[in-house]
Amino acid sequence: MGYRAEAPDGCRAQEHTGKVRLTVWVRPGSARPGVGGEHDGALVVRVAPRAVGGQATAAALAAIADAFGVRRHAVTLVAGAASRMKIVDVAGADPAVLDRLLAR
């Protein structure tokens, strides 16, 4: 019993077994950290830490958890540890939140 929602710009959220899988684009070193907007079909996550030693990835996962209103351990990195484009699973997330974040 899966649910698949596709935003107009192509950013996909796929819910399976209570999780939402989405593609995110991380912008490290941002002066204005936050989650929202779309880049090449991915949700944009702006974080202050630079991409050194996984600091930007850790900050991005924490920001995603905060944006979806879940605990940090509910956000799992699936692919893209060393890339700006990442695939993450968010357990207990509402796909409607993704639509709201993309509209920012």
Structural domain count of the chain: 1
Domain that holds residue 15: 3-102
- What pTM was computed for the model? 0.82
Residue 61 sits in a domain whose CATH number is 3.30.1200.10
pLDDT surpassing 50 at residue 97: yes
Cβ-contact 62, 38 below 8 angstroms? no
For 14-73, how does the pLDDT look when each residue is reduced to its tens digit (9 = 90+)?
555 578 899 999 999 999 999 999 898 899 999 999 999 999 999 999 999 999 999 999
What secondary structure does DSSP assign to 10-59, as a single string? S-EEEEETTEEEEEEEEETT-SS-EEEEEETTEEEEE-SS-SSTTHHHHH
Q: Which of 103, 100, 89 is nearest to 24 (CA)?
A: 89
Cβ-contact 49, 59 below 8 angstroms? yes
